[in-house]
Structure formats: structure tokens, C-alpha cells
A and B are shown apart, each in its own frame.
Chain A
Amino acid sequence: MSERAFAEAARADRALARKTARSPLCGIPYGAKDLLAAAGAPTTWGAPPYRDQIFDHDATVVRKLERAGAVLAAKLSMVELAGGGGYRYPSASLQGPGRNPWDPERWSGGSSSGSGSAVGTGAVSYAIGSETSGSIGTPAAFCGVTGLRPTYGLVSRAGAMALSWTLDKIGPMARTAEDCGLILGAIGGPDPADATVSGRRYRALDGRAASGAVRRLRIGIAEEDLDHAAPEAKRALARGLAELDRIVPRRVRAVLPDDLPYGPMVGTVYGAEGAEIFSELIASGRVDQLIDARQKAGLRQGAEIRARDYLRAMRLRTVLAERFRELFAEVDVIVAPARTSTAPPIDAALDARPPGAGSLADTPRPGNTGLIPAGNLAGLPAIFFPCGFGTDGLPVGLQLVGPAFSEPLLVAIVAAYQRATDHHTKQPPARRRAAS
């Protein structure tokens, strides 16, 4: 692994010296979530049964970044099997719980835990993560970094561990939206090795088009979303929304349909697909080597999901896609909290409700609290970005979701927000100490 990094760095040095570097990523060290194959390096998928796994090829995104001159400096830890069976504790990883850059006794989020930590601490300039339902958004929010979940089919998944063929997306995590755009430009686009790839590429809006688009757009919001926020996060989220108002003044009420069971839909889809993908692991009993008891039981239960329920969930995705099309006729993007609470303690059960947080059961107005599963089920892009700090000193963030392939607009909005604010420039204490 380190030999590869030094070789890529030396190659980048030569390209920079000869002024033949083709990409702004040339020579920049990055980390890849450990579900991406990198030839010759361990690719553990964060799971004990795969601790010695080594591939002889690169994932397409790793190959594309190498072509851009980027330097693969680290494989980054992750929740085992990207949390496909569900997990109860942050410790559900071969490498231990991802520690939060802002407080090592808090979790960095999952399942792209190491990607969030590494970017948050400044250990790498950017990282590649993946999202099936929330795995880029959660660590981005908890670690105070910017994460971009691309439209399903914009980025090849070839060479990445599959958890759900119809939900998995690979995307960048970095300090800013513009950086995410640069990285997405390098990793997106055609790939014959992945049949789900659309062939479309990411192209950033130029400055004038971006500022015009941002000024004109209508942003959808459900005000009751803040009712669900934990007390420590509420004020920073409200302030972030007010700051966004100054960038995008046209606010329109927009609420997800409340007659679709987003949680059961997404859980059924990745539960059934994940159990089939890992059927050999389950049948052989090696599933018991996994760390988290919930993960083992959840994967086994996934194998029991009936075809009719899986197909019903899939058919409802068609309904959901149509509902989103109707919604996006009224608004250009939807904004909501990235997460409604700050990072939990690393030893806490993740299914314990944060103290003081509103429960969906307590209110008839769920607002857009289902935006993460709904956006993933519909294959829509999202950008997650920091908007301040909770009263406990931990980062909080917002998310924007747009229509398919609206990444250029999402990046332009958050870039404008980040030009007007400084939340994304804040550094955690350890990083400040290292820099001084």
C-alpha cells in the first residue's frame, strides 16, 4: 500500500515538474473506503471474515483517480459490510469504532466512518465513501465535512463491495462542495464494467451560470423538520437554514408524500439484496465471525424476506420516483437537516433515541425526516454540508436533494453558501494543534 502511494506520488511529482498534470487532483493524497478494491492492498470490507482479502485489480474509481494523478494514501475503515444487516453499535467494524475528529469519544458516523474521520482530521484532503442509505451523509454531518451522494448510475461501482445492486452509490467526501465537484468530475462517467452506469458525466456550472441558477431557484423545505431535531442541534440547524435563506431567498413548502413507508421500503430492498449477495457467508456460518450481533441476525433475517415483499418495495420505488418528479416541478431542490442530532458516544447503542429528541411517533407531521431513505430509493443526488456546531461543540449539517443528475446545481448552491460562511473551514482541536 505505502509502495503504491510513493510510486503514485513520484509519478505525480514528475507530471507536475514537467507541467503535464491533467487534473487539479494530481499529487493530492486521498483515502478510499475499504470496500473499494486496490490491487495488492488489503480490502477488508470492514469485516473479520474478509480480513485477509486482497484483490489483484483496482476499482474503477481508484483507477480513474490514478489516471488523474491522485495518490491513494490510505484504505479507510468502515462499518462491517457497510452495515447491511443493520448494526447496534459504532464498534461494528474490524478496525473498531470510527472516532470523531471533534471528540474521539464520539462516533464518526457510518458506514463511511474512516472517510469522515480522515477528511475531518485533515489526514487526507479528500476521501471516497459510499452510500446505500445514509452512509455518506451521516459521517459527513457528524465529522463536519462536505459529502456528495451522486445520482445512481453517475459513478461506476465496479470493484466495490456490493451491498445492494439497486441502491449503492460511490461519492466524494471533502472539505468543500467545489472539491466534491472536482472529484466527482474525475470519478464519474462511462464504465463498461458496470451495466448500471448511465454514461453521463459531471460538469460544473461556470461562474455566471452558477450564480444565475442559484439566484433563481426555489428551495423546498418542511419547517417542522426542526421539531425533530435534538436540543443540542436545533439552534445551529435553524441558523444554517437562515444563512441558506440569504443565498437562496425563494423558499417554498415541500413535503415528501406521507403515504409511502420509506423505512420498510429501503430496509426490504437492501435486506433482500444484501442477504443474496452474502448468501455464501450466511450459509457457511462465517457470518458469525462478524462483530455486531445485530448485523449477524439482520443478515440472516434478510435471507427470509419474501419475493413478494421485495417486489412490492421495488414497485413502490416507481411510485416514489413519480412523486419526486411532481415535487421537483414545484421546487428545484429540497433542504433538510443532514442529521437531527450530533454524533453519539462511541459506546452507545445507535437505536437509543438521543435524550430530548422528538420522536416521529410523537407527531403527525413527519416533514422530510424520511429524505435519506426516500432520496436513496429514488436514486437522487444529495449534498451534505456543515452549517455550524451544536451546543455540545460537535458539527451539525444540512442536506440538499435535487432531481437526478442535478449535481452541478447542488455543488453551485453549497459553494455559494460556503463562500458566504466559514463553517467548513473550522478545524478540530487536534488538527489545530498539529498545524500550530
Chain B
Amino acid sequence: MVDLHRGRDPDAPARAGLLTRGYHAILSVLMSSGPLPNDDPAALAVQIREAAEKSAAALRERDVPIGLEPPTVFRP
């Protein structure tokens, strides 16, 4: 028996499962309104730019051999 059937009779019609679990009920579980915090965009932009510069520096300080290629998915 596969576990996907847990909680319902595996021989019961699929539609019955849908009716009891209902699409609308699912949405009410998942969608919720919460606090919408408001961060200062200017301060955030500075913070993010600084983090990006640090990140770029960390990448650049790592030497790579001249023959090293990036992975590619290009298939002509």
C-alpha cells in the first residue's frame, strides 16, 4: 500500500476525497494576511550594494586556471 492513500479509503472514489478536502478549504489554510513590514528602501539599497560588492570581491579573489570553462547547456 502506498502512503499516498493515508487518511482516506484507497478504494473510495477520488471525487469524494476532493469534496471533503475542498479546494476552497485548502486556500483558506494557506492564504493568510500578515503584517507587511516596511523597510527603508534607501538604506536597503545601500546595504544590498555593499553586500554585492563583498560578494564580487569574494569571487574575484579566488584564482582560476586559464583553461577552466563554465558549465554550459548550449547545444547547437
Which residues does A use to contact B, with CB under 8 Å? 1-2, 5-6, 9-10, 12-13, 16, 24-29, 31, 71, 73-74, 76-77, 86, 88-91, 95-99, 104, 113-114, 117-118, 121-126, 165-166, 174-176, 178-179, 182, 195-196, 259-261, 263-265, 267-268, 271, 291, 293-294, 296-298, 300-301, 304-306, 308-309, 311-319, 321, 346-347, 349, 435
Known interface pairs A96-B34, A265-B59, A347-B37; A123-B25 also in contact (CB < 8 Å): yes
Is B64 a contact partner of A118 (Cβ separation < 8 A)? Answer: no
Known: A24-B2, A96-B31. A311 touches B70 (CB 8 A): yes
What number of A-B contacts does a CB cutoff of 8 Å give? 191
Q: Which residue of A lies closest to B68 (CB)?
A: A315
Q: Which residue of B lies closest to A293 (CB)?
A: B39
Within 8 Å CB of B39, what residues of A? 88, 293-294
Complex formed: what's the CA distance from A294 to B36 in Å?
12
Q: What are 29 A-B contacts with C-beta separation under 8 Å? A: A9-B15, A12-B14, A24-B2, A29-B18, A31-B26, A73-B26, A88-B39, A91-B35, A91-B37, A95-B32, A99-B29, A104-B32, A118-B30, A122-B7, A123-B21, A175-B3, A178-B2, A195-B75, A259-B62, A261-B58, A261-B59, A294-B48, A297-B48, A305-B52, A305-B56, A309-B55, A315-B68, A315-B70, A321-B71
Range, interface on chain B? 35 or more
B60–A9 contact, CB under 8 A? no
Cα-based distance from A75 to B33 in the complex (angstroms):
17
- Residues in B with CB closer than 8 Å to A297 are 41, 44-45, 48
Cα–Cα, bound, A308→B70 (Å): 12
